[in-house]
Amino acid sequence: RVRYLIEAQRPEVARQVAQTCRAEHWWCAALEGLTLHVMQQYIEADSIFAVSLLEMPSAQRCEWLDLRLVVASRLEKEIKKAGCDDRAKLADRLWMLSQPLWAKRGNDLRTEHFARLTMSMIMAKSANTQGLAFSHDSRELLLRYGWPEWYTRHEVTSNGAYSSFSTTV
């Protein structure tokens, strides 16, 4: 419901839904962080994602703090060698140094990354508009570039006996 409400441009309602979530607390916090990020409330989103990270299982936290997909190859090698605690320290340092909006409190780049991770978990068991299952490549694309925010669909006309639909993302 949170995803569909966000796609329907109703993030405030999505936040209310996330606040009534009855799943594991870390997941509910991640959903709320996603909605706050979409509403550009980066300070609140950062705080809620911090709660989510503290309460999620350690293996999940280690995965969420693995920034190898979004850093240069030299840093990728350093992160690969690091254990989970060291990854957390490296991630904190990277988020601090790469924060794009220094004039604003809260780290919008960090909340963007965690919002993308949350959205990738939401979409993990979904089909996309092309009718394909969400896969490892789909996750990597989402983490690197974000999720599609709109779709259009139109019928492709052809002179042949068959016609099909085309989707634009």
Per-residue exposure over 70-86, b if at least 16 CB sit within 10 Å of its own CB, e if not: bbeeeeeeebeebeeee
In residues, how long is the chain?
169
- pLDDT tens, N- to C-terminus, the chain (169 residues): 999 999 899 999 999 999 999 999 999 999 999 999 999 999 999 999 999 999 999 999 999 988 888 887 778 888 888 888 888 888 888 888 887 766 667 788 899 999 999 999 998 877 667 777 788 888 888 888 888 776 666 666 666 555 555 566 6
Angle, vertex CA 41, rays to CA 49 and CA 27, nearest 5: 25
Q: Are the C-beta atoms of 89 and 14 separated by less than 8 Å? A: no
CA distances to 1, 35, 70, 94 from 17, rounded to whole Å, are 7, 10, 30, 32
The residue type at 139: R
